[in-house]
Structure 1
Amino acid sequence: MNKPLLIITSANGQVASYLAAELKDSFTLLLLYHKRVDRLDVLQNHPAVILRQCDATQLSELGCIINDVIDLYNVTPSYLIHCVSLRSDDALALGDSDPEHWKNVFETNTLSTYNALRACLPFMQNANFGRIVLFGSTVASSGLENGSAYAASKAAMVNMVKSIALEYGKHNILINSISPGPIETDLEADYEGAYLEFRQNYFSKYQSEVPTGKLVCKEELLPVVKLLISKDITNLTGQDITINGGKS
């Protein structure tokens, strides 16, 4: 019998790489990264970690990688944590935005979600087991000034969760999204220039408005993820779990 495999997309991101480090001793991990791999260096020699470079917007590429890993390591995709999040880094109102840039942000986030699900769901259905977590954002419901492409893509993702829960609940496949507010990360490590300033101002404003006065920390996401990928839950599906310090 094949071992269960947990797939994490955009694994070099600050949140995804943290989750990978925390889950590596409990699962066989396939960590899919796009360009950078520096945050995964410490995991490269771990016996339960498989690293692969992948453009998640290309279904054929993603499918080939997963099939190769299945054959090489005798694993079955049983868990998916999808973390792809391309930002609207032009920080422009829609009427001022470049159509191709807007399209790229929306399609990257939306197509990568479809592709990850399309690649994994048949295996999960065949095994009659699957646990899926998609990382959304509070902007899926609130909107995001000067970030409409990103907000729209996250809204599409959250809605996709509801449809897939209806389609696959009978196969013991549970899918949910986590929509955090701004996560406490090292912004300077990923952004620069005007967009870095935009993110810093957005975080500062958010922190001043949220009842707890806090940004979301990575450590608070971990127990929620663990719950949503647990075999112990059997009826929690189709939900968007918001973590935003009580901000309405």
Structure 2
Amino acid sequence: MAQSRQDASPRTAMVTGAASGIGRAIASLLSARGWQVHICDADRDAIARMRDENPAIEASVCDVCDAMRAAQTVERMLEKTGGRLDLLVNNAGTSGMNAPLEEIDPDDWRRTLDVNVNGTFNFLRAAIPVMKRAGTGTIVNIASTAALFGYPNRSPYAAAKWALIGITKTLAMELGPHNIRVNAICPGSVEGPRIDGVIERDARTRGVAPDAVRRLYEGQVSMRRFVSADDIARMCAFLASDDAGMVSGQIVAVDGHTETLSNPL
């Protein structure tokens, strides 16, 4: 990725929830393209593996729900980068329960919104003043196609991801005058362990075999297949690049065109 003509030093990125899955793919791609990348994740074992396998990427343990820890994580990054933060990717999230709303455990409801919404708020609150002082920056929030449709039996997750769309649109308006761009990516079902777990839980809720739910999910997408974490990473890298210099306030689906999330079996 081309660097600014005025500043040839490496661009810097903070990616939350990035020791596995989409976040890991984003961090790895940015690092490969010359960015100075810092990640955080609540999974200590995954962070340890990331440090071993990708020593060029700074990695720290952080529960994004903890506002103080979030601020400290950003501060530690700034100490490494000389106060520079070009890109914040709010990727940390949790999928929540699969159940009708009246059967949702209140603690699970709160936890799902806490990670997906409050965790995003905590890092935004720490990062935005840094970008404002610099007069430039990019924010990418990882939402979901669940933020574009109703999603039966996934009400906590859908509520959280719709909230991220509101945050994205509002911040694009607030921060545009400061030369800070804000966009959201809405991944479809991303192949890997996380969607496997969602399918298993959905299958239990429906009382059917997981393979039947997998076929249903694939059939909801025009291209009839799941996306990969690398598909999301490439879109994030584009949104962070100079080529997207006038792209802000946009909700970009990377999903093979989701037609519905509510097809019955």
Q: TM-score, normalised by structure 2?
A: 0.83
CA RMSD of aligned residues (A): 2.5
Task: Kindly state the Cα deviation for residue 108 of structure 1 after the two structures are TM-superposed.
Answer: 1.8
**Residues 12, 36 of structure 1: 8 Å contact kept:** no
In structure 2, the residue corresponding to 1:232 is in which secondary structure? helix
Tell me the alpha carbon deviations over residues 82-131 of structure 1, each in whole angstroms, 9 at most, x when there is no partner: 11121123x11111111222121112211011111111111011101111
Structure 1 partner of 2:126: 119
The reply on whether 1:234 has 2:245 as its aligned counterpart is yes
Structure 1 partner of 2:82: 74
Q: TM-score, normalised by structure 1?
A: 0.89
In structure 2, the residue corresponding to 1:66 is in which secondary structure? helix
Task: Kindly state the Cα deviation for residue 219 of structure 1 after the two structures are TM-superposed.
Answer: 2.6
| In 2: Cα distance, 1:3 partner to 1:187 partner | 32
**Residues 95, 198 of structure 2: 8 Å contact kept:** no
| In 2: Cα distance, 1:238 partner to 1:75 partner | 26
Structure 1's unaligned 5+ residue stretches are none
Q: Equivalent of 1:195, from 196, 201, 206? A: 201
Structure 2 partner of 1:58: 66
Tell me the alpha carbon deviations over residues 42-91 of structure 1, each in whole angstroms, 9 at most, x when there is no partner: 554756421111111111111112213322442411101111121123x1
Q: Equivalent of 2:180, from 173, 181, 184? A: 173
Alignment of 1:124-163 (within 5 A): 124-163=131-170
The reply on whether 1:14 has 2:25 as its aligned counterpart is no
Task: Kindly state the Cα deviation for residue 37 of structure 1 after the two structures are TM-superposed.
Answer: 3.8
| In 1: Cα distance, 2:18 partner to 2:67 partner | 17
Structure 1 residues 208 and 118, CA gap change in structure 2 (3 angstroms): same
Structure 1 residues 219 and 231, CA gap change in structure 2 (3 angstroms): same
Q: Equivalent of 1:209, from 220, 245, 249? A: 220
Deviates more, 1:167-176 or 1:223-232: 223-232
Structure 2 partner of 1:95: 102
Structure 1 partner of 2:57: 49
Structure 1 residues 68 and 39, CA gap change in structure 2 (3 angstroms): closer
Structure 2's unaligned 5+ residue stretches are 1-6, 260-265
In structure 2, the residue corresponding to 1:51 is in which secondary structure? strand
Q: Equivalent of 1:5, from 2, 5, 12? A: 12
- Aligned-pair identity (%): 24
| In 2: Cα distance, 1:68 partner to 1:39 partner | 16
The residue identity in structure 2 corresponding to 1:207 is E
In structure 2, the residue corresponding to 1:85 is in which secondary structure? coil
**Residues 12, 38 of structure 1: 8 Å contact kept:** yes
Structure 1 residues 247 and 196, CA gap change in structure 2 (3 angstroms): closer
Structure 1 partner of 2:4: none
User: In the comparison of the two structures, how many residue pairs are matched?
Assistant: 246
Structure 1 residues 198 and 5, CA gap change in structure 2 (3 angstroms): farther
Deviates more, 1:153-162 or 1:226-235: 226-235
In structure 2, the residue corresponding to 1:30 is in which secondary structure? strand
Deviates more, 1:52-61 or 1:159-168: 52-61
**Residues 141, 183 of structure 2: 8 Å contact kept:** yes
In structure 2, the residue corresponding to 1:211 is in which secondary structure? coil
Task: Kindly state the Cα deviation for residue 167 of structure 1 after the two structures are TM-superposed.
Answer: 0.3
| In 2: Cα distance, 1:156 partner to 1:59 partner | 18
